[in-house]
Amino acid sequence: MPGRERSDSMIPTKSPQPAPAGHGRHGRTAGSRGPDRGRPGARGRPGGKVVSGVTRAGPQGRRVIETPEGVTVYAARREGDRWRAVWYEDGERRQCQAATEDRLAARLEKVAVRLAADAPNMLRTGDELIACYLSGDRLPAERQWSRKHAETQRYLCERFARPVLGDLACQDVRVADMQAVVNAAPTAKEGRRVRAMVSALTGAGITGGYLANPRLKQVHWQAKGRTVAPPRTVPAGESVLFVDPGDIPAAEGVARLGQALAALRRGLYELMVQFAAYTGLRWGELAALTAAQVSPEARAVAVDRKVIEVRGRLYVEAPKNRKWRQAVYPSQTPRGWPLAETVAARVAAASAEQAAGANPLGLVFPAPAGGTGGRRTSAAGCCRTATWPPGGAPPTARAGGPGTACGTFFAPPRCSTGSWTSPTSRSWPGTPTTGSPGRCTSAAPREPSTAPAPPPPAP
């Protein structure tokens, strides 16, 4: 129409490449299927692919093909004309063209995958995929990662995933690329961590429209000539998380360790050893423990916080898995050490220090320089690795000694469902890991075991 400008997004009605006289560029008319179609050596024909779909007659007798993915293909109208395709993706109109049908079909393969999977972000790079995976907005507000887990995932992505996937388009990521990410880990243990990250990254990519192939996470660490430790032999019928009783320090070993540290900080380290052995508190929970969390009358500890160290900085967070618990402890240890009396005295002293301003947080085990301190500077960190008896003597696990698989005291006999056995007897031999008036968490004691555990390696 005179005076009307043609939009750049419209398909031109005239071929930009006029047809030469005589036969076409391949020696046959448009739409014909010569005997060399699909031949591996035929130039310009990658496999002899065709566009499949519903064919209808278009304007001026032009053949139009509608693919199942929603791509509209316009066949060549005459010799030398080009095949064209139009589709809508992520709300935008897009198009491509090729000289032959097979070339256009090859170009539309990735388009069909994106449209079928509704994954418009597959054109983005691996760096953007990793950024989406690490973004806090990807998860609901009530299910955010902990700082420690977020830092671990960031480290694994930066060290292993980004060098391989960073510059790739997401639609070009293959299983071999993910395998290369996992194999970059130096050890089998690190490879398991990287594999878990790859699995989570693939799931996030599929959900976010960056990836479409769930097989990308079906990879595992390969030794490739590297030394691998032999598989660990475990008792039949036991889970892989089972801890052999010989690996748990006995009451005698805990007592000897406490005596070796009794002269340090006026007995605070000895109290810490005994308290950690018979309550099962972890390092972060010990470092964050305040006087207000301990009830000397009930001999119970409300574990509702912990300290974590991320890149040299300390943070106070909810306990592991964001689940608080109540730990209890006996009045005396099996070796006769007055645990309850010493804890009550320390709680009173911490409260007095808090009132005087010397211990503002009221920490039960403050660092030597004050505050919680890190793993190397806190009071809990100073004794964290000293869990074996002095002299390297192998501990012997006994039914009355400290420890379940989580490092607490052996539990008393099982109580009835819905009841709770209060630790009121001075000779009460043990305490469960957790306890609450509405739930029984105790278990029957194990039989005595004298299986020796190997001494720790020399420092």
Residues 38-51 have pLDDT tens digits of 344 343 444 568 88
What is the per-residue pLDDT across 232-288, written as a single tens digit (0 to 9) for each?
777 777 666 667 777 788 889 999 999 898 888 888 999 999 999 999 999 999 999
| Ranges for all domains in the chain classified under CATH 1.10.443 | 248-392
Residue range 371-376: mean pLDDT, rounded: 55
Q: Would you say residue 381 has pLDDT above 60?
A: no
Q: Where in the chain is the domain with CATH 1.10.150?
A: 126-217
pTM for this prediction: 0.60
Find out whether 129 and 211 touch, Cβ atoms under 8 Å.
yes
Which residue's structure tokens are 């400008």? 5
pLDDT score of 289 more than 90:
yes
**Taking the C-alpha atoms of 71, 77, 80 and 82 in order, what is their torsion angle to the nearest 10 degrees?**
-10
What are residue 197's DSSP bridge partners? none
- Taking the alpha carbons at both ends of the chain, their separation in whole angstroms is 89
Using an 8 Å Cβ cutoff, are 309 and 283 in contact?
no
Q: How far, in Å, CA of 129 to CA of 10, rounded?
A: 32
Where on the phi/psi map is residue 44: left (φ > 0), alpha (ψ -120 to 50), or beta? Answer: left
Angle of CA points 268, 272, 277, to nearest 5°: 155
pLDDT digits (tens, 9 = 90+) for 82-112: 999 999 988 889 999 999 888 999 889 889 8
Domain 248-392 has CATH 1.10.443: yes
Q: Please state which CATH class domain 126-217 belongs to.
A: mainly alpha
Beta-bridge mates of residue 294: 301
